[in-house]
Copies of this chain bind each other. A is one copy, B any other.
């Protein structure tokens, strides 16, 4: 699948995601809709989404809990879509690059994803999907404000661009907090791998725009693109600097992490993510040659808790930790 592929600037950027929040005119927001309204809205949205090629519809209430959580861990759906409070749906393309969430916080959350640094590709693809849907749907739109959304922070473009990066260099240099503060002042959020409120694991961060009002989609993309480019070059130069400051210590650190991944028999996901980050670092610096970033991405998206549970039918934390170590060993060869 796309999310394990090595993309543009793949040494730093894991993937790019764009989402557009849209709502139907004259229909209550999902959290205000009663049971019959929920079904009515889903039916309308589902019919419109059928026109997007190579996609399938999924009724989330018929999907296994761990399957849903596994989709959320791959960022294909949001965590909110996994709860069963109301009727929710998903239109997912066969290549899993396009995911239209029905009855999330908004009626529609159009999401497009791409490996590596690919804001333009994602934005274009999202716009196309948006156009297809708009042919048959009547969006809640204000000439003055733009698209109307359930949460005021999304009003306007309804656009969130999110770039997932792995920043061992900036993190080891102790600069992540100051970077985060600086970007915050510019309307850019830095979050952990699992979004709002999530802890940073494995030095993985999501860089995303916070402003949707009074700025066009193109400007948003342009601005975020510039900022992420700057972060990439900072990260690369810090990785080199850290390495050169103590070559043996860094070689030791990344090789030990590789050894631990290859030899452990029990491993939690937090530890695994940290070790994967170290090995990424080692590959980027040319220290580690026996594996590659594509393989590491594959491991990353195989060993998260719900993904593991769903793929290998392991339920308890203890069994998962054993299976995780086994999967890592097998995939590292």
Contact = CB atoms under 8 A, between A and B. Distances in A.
Interface of A: 248-249, 251-252, 255-256, 258-260, 262-267, 318, 322, 325
Contact of A263 (B248, B256, B267): B256
15 contacts: A248-B265, A248-B266, A248-B318, A249-B266, A252-B264, A252-B265, A252-B267, A255-B263, A256-B259, A256-B260, A256-B264, A256-B265, A258-B263, A259-B263, A259-B264
A262 B263 CA distance: 10
B260 A265 contact: no
Copies of this subunit? 2
Nearest to A255: B263
A264 B260 contact: no
A6 B258 CA distance: 31
Contacts of A264: 252, 255-256, 259
Closest 8 CB pairs of A and B: A259-B263, A259-B259, A252-B265, A252-B266, A251-B265, A255-B263, A256-B264, A248-B266
A249 to B, nearest CB: 6
Contacts of A258: 263
Nearest to A319: B248
Nearest to A253: B265
A318 B249 CA distance: 10
Q: Name the residue among A259, A264, A267 with the largest chain B CB count within 10 angstroms.
A: A259
Contacts of A263: 255-256, 258-260, 262
Contact of A322 (B248, B256, B266, B267): B248
